[in-house]
Amino acid sequence: MDLDPAEPWAVREGPLDLSQLERTESLLALSNGRLGVRGGLDEGAPEGAPGTYLSGAYEVWPMTHPEYSYGYPRVQDRIVGVPDATRVELFVEGERFDVRTGELHEHDRTLDLRSGTLRRTVRWTSPTGVTVRIRSERLVPLEHPRLMAVDYRVKVLDAPHDRADQGIHVEVRSAAVASEELHDPVTQARRTGGSLRQRTDGSGQAIAVVVEHDVTGPADTAVRTHALPQRVVTTADTRLSVGSELRVVKCAALGWADKDARADLLDELRADLDVGVRAGWEGLAAEQRRVVGEFWEHADVRVEGDEDLQQAVRFALFHVLQATAQAADRGIPAKGLTGTGYDGHTFWDTEVFVLPMLNHVRPAAAAAALRWRHAMLPAARERAAELGLAGATFPWRTITGRECSGYWPAGTAAVHLNADIADAAVRHLAATGDEELAREVVTDLVVETARTWGVLGREDDEGRFHVDGVTGPDEYSALVDDNAYTNLMAQANLRAALDLVRRFPDRAAALGVDDEEVATWERLADAVHVPRAADGMHLPHARSGAHLRWDFEGTSPQQYPLADHFPYFSLYRRQVAKQVDLVLAMHLRPDAFTPEEKRRAFDYCEGVTVRDSSLSASTQAVVAAEVGHLGLAEDYVHEAAFVDLHDLRDSTADGLHIASLAGAWSALVAGYGGMRDADGRLAFTPRLPAGLTELCFRTLHRGSCLEVRITRQEATYTVVSGGPVDTCHHGEEFTVEQGSPRTLRIEPLPEQPRPAQPKGRDPRELRRR
């Protein structure tokens, strides 16, 4: 990708690099949370790993275990590619346009972060000497979950005289192509469009696409459609004089249906398609620009002093918007719909990293994600019963609500997921004050997850409550006792349940909550044990201080990620962290630590955390800024924001890291802005690093929009819309009202000595890549 110079509102591919196609297909992907299209070339060749995906369209694969044990999942759900409706092929005087033939004078693709479209401009001379300019633009409407559209234009710029006199024969073939992962294609043609239908095998879904075209060209342009065994092709055939143009606008509707709704699928898609056809390209594009513009009104984070970071942050936020816009009754996959990484599964990433951003810039999307978790409660209750637990146990990775993790220590044992979901639900309630959602969704999620802890944990002779044999966020320390993060989040889960059953006694009664259960929650919450070393420093888990440190000096850069080069048997017995664990607890449960405890624990964790996960950097940025390591925070902010633009994990080809991209927002807003949102109120401790001169962001809070503008010396708080906002600046409480901004001084915090990371894992090394 050509990122130099950085553009504030666009990401430009620049000169075409065929060796980077898989990566650019991810970076230039378009999605609306229900339909996703990777950024492949219009003509389909050359290609990297192209794909079109529908949220919830999946196949079932048998999961085999060499040594099966009770409770292991027997099947796994995996996302599948669906028919490709992006294909547009061009023939000039019989020569197929291909970037590898003829002479390519210009090739530019731009992801426009304000229009929400992918634009392409090509100038190409065919082997027969005809020069054409191709302009195409692709969009996946954020307001129409099943639609996509392509505007394809070809103009003859120059041609040999003997050919130009009679006009240049130009043929555009627009196709919907069957997926190789699906079965039994059935095609049907109409004059200017058609349909293609396939099916999955194990999941029993019908998947279909219907397409329609609007062709503008010379009067003698012929348009016809053929239904072939594997594709439906609409051809626009004409002769163009030099300077004239042929335009083909394709609109497509894609969707899936389960066994009970298969018969109605094509009719439903045709109804959706009619909406797109009536709007036309101009209508869809104008609506897309409006919707994206409304998003930026609340979500934009303006960064002064670092143009590269400005571009990266907007790129990150745009892709989070795309991943979540129409995810109303589906999970938010870790890769969104930009690739097949993690098999299209949803993890804890959603609740811990994505929802905090959505709560404050797009709360309706956060509510939709919580409603999806609520819809999965029946499966979670079944899973809890299978494991001998109470309440509900949510799956570590899933599409349909069933557990798809075959590695028990890093999946089922990571029970913190239950508390993560409860925490996300409570934070959403605090940010929005949505009493209806609290009654219908939040109370159920929090109560059913709270019930798990009474069975998972134990009380010792001194009355302390312990949770043994679990895996925290750090997957290099599995099946440990008293993981600090898990215990503290369990405590928050129990206390939230106590609060909600008292606020909604009718809902509590419907869930079967009685006085004895309430008393148990209260006792356990007050007795939660958090492990400490002999000198009082917090520990990640009960035995972490007793383990030998990993041999970081003897580990080469090529041996990271460690899990790809060393057995878990070795990793589990050493002091080494894949990603933040205790540090994440300090971010989400700041009330459980004093400032000095945070500094000591953070410095210790820095020395053993290798960041083999993209989830780590954003949280390290937040806590580093809080404890006075602004320079280190700056490095971590860049790592989170550039994870995909610079392919820091060498895995962008499989799809983007949606949680890390959302984490870039947290790194700036909760890190430099110092925003905390506990207990239904906002608080800020803003400070900027040396590399920035100004930071400005907006946050939605209980119906009001608060803008925060931070410079090195002061912070200004302005209510953009809504009622007054009670907040806090470096411990000073105040109220901001519309028309009366408040500007307060920022007292500098002395920069603390920079803690050392394991050899070769200093974030400055990744930043230089």
Active site residues: 475
C-beta separation of 146 from 34 below 8 A: yes
Distance, in Å, from the CA atom of 59 to the CA atom of 57, rounded to the nearest integer, reads 7
* DSSP letters spanning 115-174: TTEEEEEEEEE-TTS-EEEEEEEEE--TT-TTEEEEEEEEEEEE--HHHHTT-EEEEEEE
* DSSP letters spanning 45-105: -S-SS--EEETT-EEEEE---TT--TT--SEEEEE----B---EEEEETTEEP-TTSSEEE
C-beta separation of 392 from 455 below 8 A: no
> Which tokens sit at 449?
């997850």
Query: Look-up: residue for tokens 């602004």?
Result: 630
Does 124 belong to an annotated binding site? no
* Of 346, 351, 479, 457, the residue nearest 412 (C-alpha): 479
295: which residues sit within 8 A by CB, 6+ positions away? 321, 361, 362
Alpha carbon of residue 582 to chain centroid: 23
Q: How far is CA 259 from CA 80, 270, 274, 690, in A?
A: 17, 19, 25, 59
Strands 206-216 and 245-257: antiparallel
Does 250 belong to an annotated binding site? no
C-beta separation of 338 from 26 below 8 A: yes
**Exposure string for 518-546, b = 16+ CB within 10 A, e = fewer:** eebbeebbebbbbbeeeeeebbbbbebbe
Q: Is 8 helix (H, G, I), strand (E, B) or coil?
A: coil
Strands 574-575 and 548-549: parallel
Inter-helix orientation angle 595-606/616-627, to 10°: 140
Does 579 belong to an annotated binding site? yes
Rg (C-alpha) for the chain, rounded Å, is 27
Does 349 belong to an annotated binding site? yes
Torsions phi, psi for 758 (to 5 deg): -55, 150
Q: Is 764 helix (H, G, I), strand (E, B) or coil?
A: helix
Apex CA 530: angle with CA 527 and CA 531, to 5°? 135
Q: End-to-end distance of the chain based on CA atoms, in angstroms? A: 14
Binding residue ranges for substrate: 348-349, 578-579
Binding residue ranges: 348-349, 578-579
